[in-house]
Chain A
Amino acid sequence: MPAPLLEVEHLRVEFPGRRGRLVALDDVSFSIEPGEVLGVVGESGAGKSLTGASIIGLLDPPGRIAGGEIRFEGARIDNLPYEQMRRLRGRRIGAIFQDPLTSLDPLYTVGQQLVETIQTHLGLNAAEARRRAVRLLQETGIPAAEARLDQYPHQFSGGMRQRVVIALALAGEPRLIVADEPTTALDVSIQAQIIALLKRLCREHGAAVMLVTHDMGVIAETCDRVAVMYAGRIVEIGPVAAVIHAPAHPYTAGLMGSIPAMDEDRPRLLQIDGAMPRLNAIPPGCAFHPRCQRAFEPCTHARPELMTAGATRAACWLHAPALQAAA
């Protein structure tokens, strides 16, 4: 079996503060196979964007990786010096962010930004790089790509800008793309276009994707596997269909039930009472137990690790063979 493209093991991210350290990510482990699309879903503050930022080495200080390893193509990348990481990022690992306006420089034309990226990472001369830039823009479905290359980001609409950002991410022919909420700022009709485009291009270019989003619909459409995060940890990970149709963790089940469905009528939505705990007040045991209707004795003091639960893996004592009788 070939090695996974990306392996994250026991990742821990901390923010030192005046009143002690805040642990934003705690013992996060997962892997991404070549060409695979892994979705990472969760609510604001669950740590999904931090996971992406750790992988591309863009964790904002004072946040720092305090433990664990990130391996890319078998080699550790979490402790690389800045200059080496800079060469890897953009070349082997691409990134797409939520807001396409802030990820483009308003003072340079789209062409200058694309050509610069291509020249930096692929070492082509200016004419070749420009030809390649035109081809990339054409691939992302931008009409009149040759002429658009000399325009500035403000002359593009939101959807067109996100296409440019995707072209930029693909410029170095990366093996992995970390896409952080790539469609959240877009209208639904444009969102559908961008998702279809991202899926098609990554398949054509053979790039794996880590797709960070809060939208279960986008996950269902796009991903092979999905990791659900809660309070800095992965609570469930598995194939998309299994996680959506037979969620093993009560949080995943609650999350699925709280989404208004298009194909059924319910007078009330299922709701999870309360809110996700703050990082400085994560309860002992399972972080979800105060909100969990199925919580029982071990949940209040012992923290569950990911364990096999049907077709997925869930961090929940309900699935511990030795404890199932007690539940």
Chain B
Amino acid sequence: MNKRFSTVHAVNDLSFEVERGQIFALLGPNGAGKSTMVRMLCGIFQPDSGRIHYAFDEGAEPTGTAPQQALGYLPEDRGLYADKSIISNLLYFASLRGLDPAEAKPRAMEWLERFSLADRAAEKLSGLSKGNQQKVQLVTAVLHRPKLAILDEPFSGFDPVNQDLTVNIIRELAASGITIILSAHHMDLVESLADRILLMHNGRRVLSGTLEEIRQRAATGQRLALGFSAPFDAGALGELPGVQAVVASTSDSARLALKADASLNEVLPRVAQVAPLSNVHTEQPSLREIYLTAVGAQA
């Protein structure tokens, strides 16, 4: 798909597929094109070229539009009717998604109970803290039990405790059969959550696949965490063959990024020649490191 806004090519020749029941993450920094992609998925914007095919049921023919009740949406620009009550907001948006108020109310109360907001259901939304308003907004996106929930930056505005709560809720939704597409720039949270990931930069695909596939495709070498029993020269470590960079160092430790084709058996003896080692362990590169490396390579 392609989408342009005056001088910005927000989404540039992007194609991907999401399987039913998956948690699919669009990752990238601000301005990567994630929200534009999400808005096209929700039917808010139409792509300049390209098409979206939805097939919600097994064996169903793909269609160009998704029924409103099949979609749930948490927009990046959060907003509900601040002058109306929490329960009124939930029931209204559920009704717009085709859910009968009689059915929606007990469901809404269940969700509010879970977020410890049940006793405030009749209060005006404006009376809630920003974090609690975020929770109500999240409930709005999933109250009608959509087949596809599109969550734009679901963790933003939450403290770490509520970020964890949101991660758990997204896992539960996926386990109940709801397909999740989320966009985020909290790569650490997404790393532990997503089944498949699409890394974006300037509207283009950088990498995609499962975390393991991305690691393989990124051709990023391992990380080596080293402890030394004597002072060492960090500069000398950086110049060793097979070492891409010294990521971090203290007076008695260092963390090295190895080149993709570097062999541990060859690098370690060279390191030991710089200074005596007290401990060694290897790490997989984080998604953030992979992303930064990949974007750096593209640039």
Q: Bound pair: A and B?
A: no
Binding site for A on B (CB under 8 A): none
